Amino acid sequence: MNVLVIGSGGREHAIVWKISQSDRVKNIFVTPGNPGISNEKKVHIVDIQSPTIKDYVKLAKEKNVDLTVVGPETPLVDGIVDIFNENNLNIFGPSKKAAQLEGSKNFCKEILNLGNIPTAKHMSFSDSISAINYVKSKKMPIVVKADGLAAGKGVFILENKEEAYKLINDLFTGKIDGIKTSLIIVEDFLKGEEASFICLVSGDRIIPLASSKDHKKLLNGDGGPNTGGMGAYSPTKLIDDKITEKVVKKIILPTLEELKKVGIKYKGFLYAGLMIDHDQNPYVLEYNCRLGDPEAQAILMRLKSDIIDIFLAVTDDKLDELKIKWEDQSACTIVLASDGYPGKYNKEKIIEGLDHEISGTKIFHSGTKIVDGSYVTYGGRVLSVTSLGVNLQVAQAKAYDRCNQISWEGKIKRHDIGEKEINNKFIFS
């Protein structure tokens, strides 16, 4: 079969890499892709300048594509699945209405409220004056979220009220680079441990994927601003069988039920960003309508099953027949980023140290480009290095060892990915 993958980041590289291992696949067309993706087996990069959904439809028809997989959230929120379905093209992912769980934080909160699903206490505001007055009555810290997509950077934790007032004004006036919104959510700060709960959904059928934990903050010890993710690992003991049962019964199923009440059938990946409190009760921080990045790299590194079987089980409504096999080993992913990220950063710095492979370790490209025959940086998050190990400590050591062999001017990374789990430092350990 022929497969089309839409996207260009580390998540998409991991998806393409896994698809390339399927005996069922002959050709993988990727747009826009990246230099790392182009090196995988069976891959054909298709360069489309400023593509529209109509361009993707045209490409799928021209290449006789049997299945399209959408990596990033923007095309999903824009309704690519609906339009592909109208053209009788098989595609993996949620509909436009379903993707509003990620596309609108306000819609997400409305669904959570209707289903009495545990989440932080919150209020939505369409003007800065009302929002600031609300903040004046709150204890700090608080969380401020910009409604809409913000590439993982639209969430702010504020310790100081004056800083909160300024941030709120800046969000409404567009003074924050890349983020401008007409609606914000102010919510209480939840204490606990964050974890990622990603599952396959087809209607009311659910299969949880291997557990994982992301590291959103830029700096060691979870300091600095939020990013799209600086590292991840799988599995995590934060999500054991007991927590899984709670999440499915109290969070995922009620969410799907509320969506059904408004005429929405969910199909695809559903990613609940969780906060697990001191008593091991899970709360929803956010929903995403696709695989996480860098969680995808860690999770897919452990996947033994054919990923095509997984995609088709969802699109064909056959989740009941699916059994997923996982490696018993742990996987650890370290993100290598450009100095200045998630703000402004320099591009086209020559990358050294990519020219050899190590068994059990994979380098996924996120923001790279080839200039004059050399790999150069072209994004905030540039590479993600993922290693397998008999346990997390071994996987972590292997991943950092490989990271240290890669260099460019301005390379940054966190040095503590997985450290809390290794040292048993969770609040309820």
The confidence score (pLDDT) of residue 66 equals: 98
3-state SS of the chain is: CEEEEEECCHHHHHHHHHHCCCCCCCEEEEEECCHHHHCCCCEEECCCCCCCHHHHHHHHHHCCCCEEEECCHHHHHCCHHHHHHHCCCCEECCCCCCCHHHHCHHHHHHHHHHCCCCECCEEEECCHHHHHHHHHCCCCCEEEEECCCCCCCCEEEECCHHHHHHHHHHHHHCCECCECCCCEEEEECCCCEEEEEEEEEECCEEEECCCEEECCEEECCCEEEECCCCEEEECCCCCCHHHHHHHHHHHHHHHHHHHHHCCCCCEEEEEEEEEECCCCCEEEEEEECCCCCCHHHHHHHCECCCHHHHHHHHHCCCHHHCCCCECCCEEEEEEEEECCCCCCCCCCCECECCCCCCCCEEEEECCEEEECCEEEECCCEEEEEEEEECCHHHHHHHHHHHHCCCECCCEECCCCCCHHHHCCCCCCC
Task: Give 416-426 pLDDT, tens digit per residue.
Answer: 999 999 999 99
Q: Rounded distance, CA 137 to CA 349, Å?
A: 47
Cβ atoms of 65 and 3 within 8 Å: the answer is yes
Task: Give the Cβ contact number of residue 413 at 10 Å.
Answer: 21
What confidence score (pLDDT) does residue 226 get? 86
- CA 28 – CA 66 distance, rounded (Å): 10
- Cα–Cα distance measured from residue 335 to residue 366, given in angstroms and rounded to the nearest whole number: 9
pLDDT digits (tens, 9 = 90+) for 194-251: 999 999 999 989 999 999 999 999 999 999 988 999 999 999 999 999 999 999 999 9
Chain Cα centroid distance, residue 108: 16
Enumerate residues 6+ apart whose C-beta is below 8 A from 20. 28, 40, 41, 42, 43
Please state, in angstroms and rounded to a whole number, the distance separating the CA atoms of residues 124 and 11. Answer: 31
* Residue 36 structure tokens: 């790392």
- Name all domains of the chain by residue range, CATH numbers in brackets: 2-93 (3.40.50.20), 121-188 (3.30.1490.20), 193-321 (3.30.470.20), 330-422 (3.90.600.10)
Q: Which residues of 44-76 are buried (b: 16+ CB within 10 A; e: fewer)?
A: eebeeeebebeebbebbeeeebbbbbbbbbbbb
Residue 323's pLDDT is: 97
pLDDT at position 305:
98
Pairing of strands 91-92, 67-70: parallel
At 393 the pLDDT is 98
Distance CA 88, CA 67 (A): 11
- The span from the CA of 140 to the CA of 23, in Å, is 54
The pLDDT score that the predictor gives to residue 153 is 64
| Type of residue numbered 292 | G
Cross-strand pairs, 362: 386
Residue 399 · residue 332 · CB < 8 Å: yes
pLDDT of residue 376: 98
What's the pLDDT score for residue 178? 66
Which residue ranges in the chain fall short of pLDDT 70? Answer: 150-153, 177-178, 429
Contact 227, 153 (CB under 8 A): yes
